[in-house]
């Protein structure tokens, strides 16, 4: 039995009167590549955005790391560090150069964790003043300089991997769409996520650049990165996905392995959809 | 009007009894105070304005944010709704005596009121700036696990400031010129300095001092315009056009060869 990374139960989402998601049950297993397809406006992007609470679910549960993300009391920021997201419009930070785009979040998170530990140590020190048993101090780990250096080193390795190391100091506005999207993907990778969500990652790219982004995603799939991908690239879905999901009218209409899914669709709506897009 | 006569009276006046040193000193001091209060006011204004703008655009789930939002709305309504002169008069002659504070430096009151007043305007400018930044920038920051505040400070506000620099320059220029009402609370700013010069030595001659006043203001504003352009260029390094302009230069150089 494979480990479940993300488990969604009876997820519902409404915008005002309009119910976009009408109860979705869905599990993501470790190392699995899931492709979500469906007609426009069927709620597939909303569904993906609910998984890391970019949209708060109206009801239902999203289990990740032993906690229910749909619960408003959960510190969502901690969990989002482990759920990467790649956007249609890339969303690289325009005011930062490429390397800072990649290192910003890892460095800030490490710094925050370090200051939390420092605060704990401070409390232990005060406790030690008044008690005979001395509690040992917690290990702070790397100092700030080392944190920064390690993050930079890792970012350079990631950039080397996508052959963009010479663009480390460049600003996003000088890059092509394909380059931006690949950098956005490695920015997510820099956080060592357990799962990455892709929200139509190639829809804003021209055909020539779609290939380079899909190639990187293919590599990630080979390395057993867990991914949930909303896309219109049927060829990619057939080739890379472990499971394909067809969504329509806010529910999952069909779910199967890619071979069966494309060659032997059951749902009439899916048959109709596939006949139009294939 | 006999211009040569006006000049003669003015030159006589400033050179009488070696008074020209005094004239330069008065003009310099007035200029210094005007610039000082406008600059400090703008700095305070940007700080307050940014804070208020952050509250105004924040999601209103929490009660605390909603209360802060209301306070900010009242603040903005007061400081944008009354002339700065009235605010100065109220602060210096009504509010401070009322709470029993006496002998406070009118310049300090000026800086604070200019800061508060400018904060109300900058908050709206900044709000527009924050809204002009693509919402995807905030989403990207949040998706990486950064908090709302951190993403705002590290990502959104730097881009917002870049977008609003020309408008902030405008605000600075307005502040420089509005300092002329500081004389109402006994501050000797540029305007009051020139008035004092005009009435000094019991010779009441206003024409030349007022012309000087206008010229000094224009020079100040032109300098600020240059300064803002410079800062804009500094911020534009992440723009595509910045790299393009470099390229144009090298092309030109090649043509010259």
Q: In this predicted model, what pLDDT tens digit does every residue of B165-195 receive, in sequence order?
A: 999 999 999 999 999 999 999 999 999 999 9
**Tokens 């305070």 appear where?**
B44
What residues pair up with A251 in beta bridges, in sequence order? A248
Largest interatomic CA distance in chain A: 77
Q: Alpha-carbon distance A266 to A263, whole Å?
A: 10
The domains of chain B are located at: 18-256
Q: Reply yes or no on whether the pLDDT at B244 is more than 70.
A: no
- Which H or E run contains A12? strand A4-15
Question: Packing angle between helix B3-15 and helix B20-57, nearest 10 degrees?
Answer: 100
C-alpha radius of gyration, chain A, whole number:
21
Phi and psi of A207, rounded to 5°?
-50, -35
CB–CB of B238 and A81 under 8 A? no
State chain B's mean pLDDT as an integer. 88
Q: A255 - beta bridge partners? A: A245
Q: How far apart are CA A165 and CA B227, in angstroms?
A: 36
Q: How confident is the model at residue A95 (pLDDT cuts 50, 70, 90)?
A: very high
Q: Which of chain A's residues have a Cβ under 8 Å away from the Cβ of B136?
A: 87, 89, 91
Mean pLDDT on B67-75: 95
Nearest to B41 by CA among B74, B84, B71: B84
Which residues in chain B have their CB less than 8 angstroms from residue A93's CB?
Answer: 137, 140-141, 155
Please tell me which of the candidates B137, B145, B158 has its beta carbon nearest to residue A81: B145
- pLDDT tens for residues A105-125? 999 999 999 999 999 999 988
Q: What is the pLDDT of residue B240?
A: 64
In whole angstroms, give the CA distance from residue A50 to residue A207.
29
Q: What tokens were used for A134?
A: 């001395």
Cβ distance B140 to A80 less than 8 Å, yes or no, reads: no
HSE-CB of B64 using CA atoms within 13 angstroms: 0
Partners of residue A199 on adjacent β-strands = A230
DSSP 8-class letter at A242 = S
Tell me: the pLDDT tens digits for A129-161? 888 888 888 888 888 899 999 999 999 999 999
Query: Domain B18-256, what architecture?
Result: Orthogonal Bundle (1.10)
d(CA A181, CA A85): 11
Could you give the percent of chain B with pLDDT greater than 90? 69
B15 phi, psi to nearest 5 deg: -95, -10
Q: Is the pLDDT of residue B251 over 70?
A: no
DSSP-derived 3-state class of residue A73: coil
Q: Do B144 and A80 touch (CB under 8 A)?
A: yes
pLDDT at A277: 82
For residues A215-227, average pLDDT: 94
pLDDT tens for residues A63-85? 999 999 998 889 999 999 999 99
Bridge-based pairing of strands A83-86 and A195-199 is: parallel
CB-defined contacts A:B, below 8 A = 76
d(C-alpha B197, C-alpha B24), whole Å: 10
Please report residues of B whose CB lies closer than 8 A to that of A187. Answer: 144
Tokens of A79: 């969990």
Q: Please, what is the Cα angle at B167 between B164 and B173, to 5 degrees?
A: 140
Q: In this complex, which of A87, A108, A187 lies closest to B136 when CB atoms are compared?
A: A87
Flag if B144 and A54 touch (Cβ within 8 Å). Answer: no
B125-167 pLDDT per residue, tens: 999 999 999 999 999 999 999 999 999 999 999 999 999 999 9
Decide which of B20 and A217 is more confident.
A217
Q: At what angle do helices B207-235 and B20-57 cross, to 10 degrees?
A: 40
Tell me what pLDDT residue B6 has: 81
């Amino acid at each position: 039995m494979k480990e479940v990374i993300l488990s969604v139960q009876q997820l519902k989402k409404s915008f005002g009167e309009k119910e976009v998601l009408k109860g979705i049950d869905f599990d993501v297993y470790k190392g699995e590549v899931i492709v979500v397809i469906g007609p426009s406006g069927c709620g597939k992007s909303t569904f993906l955005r609910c998984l890391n609470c970019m949209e708060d679910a109206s009801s239902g549960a999203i289990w990740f790391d032993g906690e229910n993300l749909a619960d408003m009391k959960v510190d969502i920021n901690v969990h989002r560090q482990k759920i990467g997201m790649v956007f249609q419009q890339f969303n690289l930070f325009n005011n930062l150069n490429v390397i800072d785009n990649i290192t910003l979040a890892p460095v800030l998170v490490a710094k925050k964790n370090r200051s939390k530990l420092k605060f704990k140590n401070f409390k232990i020190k005060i406790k030690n003043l008044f008690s005979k048993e001395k509690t040992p101090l917690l290990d702070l780990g790397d100092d700030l300089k080392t944190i920064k250096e390690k993050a930079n080193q890792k970012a350079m390795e990631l950039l080397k991997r996508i052959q963009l190391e010479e663009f480390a100091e460049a600003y996003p506005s000088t890059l092509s769409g394909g380059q931006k999207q690949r950098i956005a993907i490695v920015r997510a990778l820099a956080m060592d996520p357990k799962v990455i969500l892709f929200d139509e990652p190639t829809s804003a790219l021209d055909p020539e650049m779609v290939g380079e982004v899909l190639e990187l995603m293919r590599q990630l799939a080979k390395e057993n990165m867990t991914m949930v991908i909303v896309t219109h690239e049927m060829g990619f879905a057939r080739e890379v996905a472990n499971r394909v999901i067809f969504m329509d009218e806010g529910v999952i209409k069909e779910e199967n392995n890619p071979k069966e899914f494309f060659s032997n669709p059951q749902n009439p709506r899916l048959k109709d959809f596939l006949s139009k897009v294939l | 009007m006999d211009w040569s006569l006006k000049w003669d009276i003015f030159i006589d006046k400033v050179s009488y009894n070696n008074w020209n040193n005094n004239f330069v000193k008065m003009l310099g001091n007035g200029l210094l105070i005007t610039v000082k209060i406008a600059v400090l006011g703008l700095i305070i204004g940007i700080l307050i304005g940014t804070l208020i703008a952050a509250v105004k655009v924040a999601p209103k789930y929490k009660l605390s944010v909603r209360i802060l939002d209301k306070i900010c709305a009242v603040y903005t309504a007061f400081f944008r709704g009354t002339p700065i002169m009235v605010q100065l008069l109220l602060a210096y002659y009504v509010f401070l005596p009322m709470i029993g504070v006496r002998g406070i430096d009118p310049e300090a009151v000026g800086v604070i009121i200019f800061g508060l007043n400018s904060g109300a305007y900058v908050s709206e400018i900044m709000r527009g700036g924050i809204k002009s930044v693509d919402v995807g920038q905030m989403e990207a920051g949040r998706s990486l696990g950064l908090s709302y505040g951190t993403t705002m400070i590290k990502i959104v506000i730097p881009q917002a400031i870049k977008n609003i620099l020309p408008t902030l320059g405008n605000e600075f220029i307005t502040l420089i010129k509005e300092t002329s009402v500081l004389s109402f609370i006994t501050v000797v700013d540029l305007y009051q300095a020139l008035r004092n010069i005009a009435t000094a030595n019991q010779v009441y001659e206003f024409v030349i001092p007022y012309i000087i006043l206008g010229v000094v203001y224009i020079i100040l504003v032109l300098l600020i315009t240059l300064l803002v352009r410079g800062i804009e260029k500094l911020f534009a390094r992440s723009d595509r056009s910045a790299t393009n302009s470099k390229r144009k230069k090298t092309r030109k150089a090649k043509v010259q060869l």
